[in-house]
Amino acid sequence: MRLHVADHPLVAHKLTVLRDETTASPTFRLLVDELVTLLAYEATRHVHVKSVDIVTPVTATTGVKLADPRPLVVPILRAGLGMLDGMTRLLPTAEVGFLGMQRDEETLEAITYAERLPDDLSGRQCFLLDPMLATGGTLVAAIDFLLARGARDVTAVCLLAAPEGLAVVEKAVGDRAEVSVVVAAVDERLNDKAYIVPGLGDAGDRLYGVV
Ligand code: URA
């Protein structure tokens, strides 16, 4: 597993406002959107492109375009949905699939309650969106889901990760596939409720208000 921490003052600034408990949902959503676009720039560094011939107003030249099959962006519901626009702003031609996963608050295991993904993901670059990589259970379940459909190149874009969760993902993935994790920051630890510390609280609740 490859870990990339986006080390940039703008990322750190936006993350600080996100963490602040007084930041209300509308500002929180806007900042998540902006942060994800910055993270998407890093996450797509190795996106597949093909060479194309074009003619500029001055001369013929060669450039690149995104290759087929198009990348697949998969927000993990519910909180990952808040990251979708920020990601597709940079990858407007990507296809979008959905995975509904919830962690059982007692066992902390991930339960899949919905999915809308192509059956065959061979050769597809997949970008999973999940703001909080806490225990790693949800992300491992989501990666396993994509690998079972043939994906071998998966990048997870997260706002925050806990060291414990990163270790779980690294161990679970092994050398089965190329998996990258792109985060705005790696925090200190998990607390006894499996929340990231210092973290930002429940990302879904902060994005959408408590339901
Ligand atoms: N999910 C969240 O929304 N926040 C955490 O800190 C951990 C998991």
State pLDDT tens for residues 75-124.
999 899 999 999 999 999 999 999 998 877 777 778 899 999 999 999 99
pLDDT confidence band for 210 (50 / 70 / 90)? confident
How much distance in Å is there from the Cα of 132 to the middle of ligand 1? 5
Q: Residue 84 to residues 55, 72, 115, 181, 211: CA-CA distances in angstroms?
A: 33, 11, 16, 16, 20
Residues 11-37, mean pLDDT to the nearest whole number: 97
Q: Residue 188 to residues 130, 168, 171, 196: CA-CA distances in angstroms?
A: 19, 15, 19, 8
Residues 6+ apart with CB under 8 A from 190: 134, 135, 162, 164, 165, 196, 197
Query: What amino acid occupies position 206?
Result: R
State pLDDT tens for residues 121-170.
999 999 999 999 999 999 999 999 999 999 999 999 999 999 999 999 99
Asked if 15 contacts 35 with a C-beta cutoff of 8 angstroms, the reply is yes
Closest residue CA from atom 5 of ligand 1: 195
State pLDDT tens for residues 32-86.
999 999 999 999 999 999 999 999 999 999 999 999 999 999 999 989 999 999 9
For a ligand 1 pocket test, name from 21, 76, 196 the mutation site with the most ligand atoms within 8 angstroms of its C-beta.
196
Q: How far apart are CA 143 and CA 88, in angstroms?
A: 20
> What confidence score (pLDDT) does residue 211 get?
62
Q: How far apart are CA 5 and CA 8, in angstroms?
A: 9
Domains and CATH numbers, the chain: 2-49+67-198 (3.40.50.2020)
Residues 6+ apart with CB under 8 A from 9: none
Closest residue CA from atom 3 of ligand 1: 202
* Catalytic residue flag (residue 107): yes
* Catalytic residue flag (residue 16): no
Residues 196-202, mean pLDDT to the nearest whole number: 98
Average pLDDT of the residues of the chain: 95
Residues 6+ apart with CB under 8 A from 169: 1, 133, 136, 139, 140, 143, 156, 179, 181
Which residues line ligand 1 at a C-beta cut-off of 6 Å? 132, 134, 195-196, 199, 202-204
Q: Which of 29, 70, 103, 149 is catalytic?
A: 103
69 closest CA partner among 3, 173, 152, 183: 152
How much distance in Å is there from the Cα of 196 to the middle of ligand 1? 6
